[in-house]
Structure 1
Amino acid sequence: MTEQIVPLHQKAYEVYLPLVEDVCSRTVSEDELSHLLDYLLDFACDEKMLRLYKRVCRKYLDVYPSCIRDYIEAYWEMWEDEGELENDL
Structure 2
Amino acid sequence: MDENIYQIAEQIVQLHQKAYEVYLPLVEEVCSRTVSEDELSHLLDYLLDFACDEKMLRLYKRVCRRYLDVYPGCIKDYIEAYREMWEEEGTYGENC
Superposed displacement of residue 22, structure 1 = 0.3
Which residue pairs with 1:44 in the alignment? 51
- The aligned counterpart of 2:42 is 35
Secondary structure of 1:7's partner?
helix
Partner letter of residue 57 of structure 2? L
Displacement of 1:80? 1.4
Q: Which has the larger radius of gyration?
A: 2
Q: 1:13-35: per-residue Cα shift (whole Å, max 9, x none)? A: 00000000000000000000000
Partner of 2:68: 61
RMSD, aligned α-carbons? 1.6
Output the CA distance in 2 between the equivalents of 1:57 and 1:22.
14
Deviation, 1:41, is 0.1
Alignment of 1:1-89 (within 5 A): 1-80=8-87
Listed as ranges, the gaps of 5+ residues in structure 2 are 1-7
- Report the secondary structure of 2:61's partner residue: helix
Matched pairs, number = 85
Structure with higher helix content = 1
Gaps of 5+ in 1: none
Whichever residue aligns with residue 67 of structure 1, its letter is C
User: TM-score if structure 2 supplies the norm length?
Assistant: 0.84
